[in-house]
Amino acid sequence: MQKLRWGVLSTAKIGRTKVIPAIQTSLHGDVVAICSRDAESAQRVADELGIARAHSSYEALLADPEVDAIYNPLPNHLHVPWSIKALEAGKHVLCEKPLGLNTADVQPLLDAAQRYPHLKVMEAFMYRFHPQWDKAHDLVTTGSIGQVRSIHSHFSYNNREPENIRNSAAMGGGALMDIGCYCISLSRYLFDGEPLRVMGHIMPYPGYEVDCFVSGIMEFADGTATFTASTKIEGNQYMEASGENGSVFIPVPFSPVADTTTKMIIKRDQQHEEIELAPCDHYRNMADAFAESVFSQQPVPTPLSDALANMKIIDAIFASAAKQSWVNLD
């Protein structure tokens, strides 16, 4: 079985707990190296996870000739510069979401990707690789619940650690960047288009410089998508898409436990149908899909144009919240 040899850029928690285990059990991936600016940390994680090589700098990892692709889970403000460096080192790149701090920040990475067309670059929106989203998209696009008119999603957790990167504005923290981006992405995915205009509201929270409570309205040609995202309330998540003839409800749309069954609820004429989906790991599916695009020399499943479109809406919601008015999108 052909394997893509991965190097992981830092010992970030999402890599240690989600992505590395997924790649290690994937069909087409093998994690061969990891790095940290703290040599002891890199070696400790390498030993814990059974990774062959630990590097004491990001530069050393990029210079490793045995690494084909880089997974970049660095803080948001480091996504673009280190992804560009990885391309310049001849590595394929899977970069955590959001791709950058704003559209202006993202553009240099898109330009770099064009300079290296033989290398693959993709934003790591793992949720799209779960079968429950294939099913939801199919139900919506085939008219099974009629024309969708309303989508609502909610994503929250409670993080009050002052030093956490998600509470740092300079590092690209805040609820909209960290989790609201999922709500924007799924709305665009199900409506199969871009919003015409958006309205954003951010409620200040004492002691934090980032947005901790954000709500958004996105007006599409055929309906409206609304969402709430927060990093300072009880953790919860769900999504409901309501059509003229029914609705689709996903209880755990973004982070179902790996290799467990998931369910979604279809409602028509006040009748409920529960659909159970087989166990899977969307991180593993994402890694395999990325590897297959490398081996087949085909486009990645989620192009960078999608990442840029999502980023434009994030920017517009921030702008709307600041202006306290609707913002039109081109």
CA 48 to each of CA 20, 21, 27, 42, 70: distance values in angstroms, whole numbers, following the listed order: 11, 11, 21, 10, 20
From the list 91, 97, 120, 232, the catalytic residue is 97
Q: Half-sphere exposure (CA, 13 Å, Cβ side) for 200?
A: 25
CB 307 within 8 A of CB 95: no
Instruction: Using alpha carbons only, give the angle 301, 264, 228 rounded to the nearest 5 degrees.
Output: 75
Strand order from edge to edge, sheet including 232-243: 271-280, 260-268, 246-250, 232-243, 148-158, 224-230, 213-219, 197-203, 327-328
Close Cβ partners of 170 (under 8 Å, ≥ 6 residues apart): 77
Question: In 3-state terms, what secondary structure has residue 255?
Answer: coil
85 is catalytic: no
Give the start-end residues of each E strand in 20-135. 29-35, 53-55, 69-72, 92-96, 121-124
CB 138 within 8 A of CB 132: no
Q: Which residues are catalytic?
A: 97
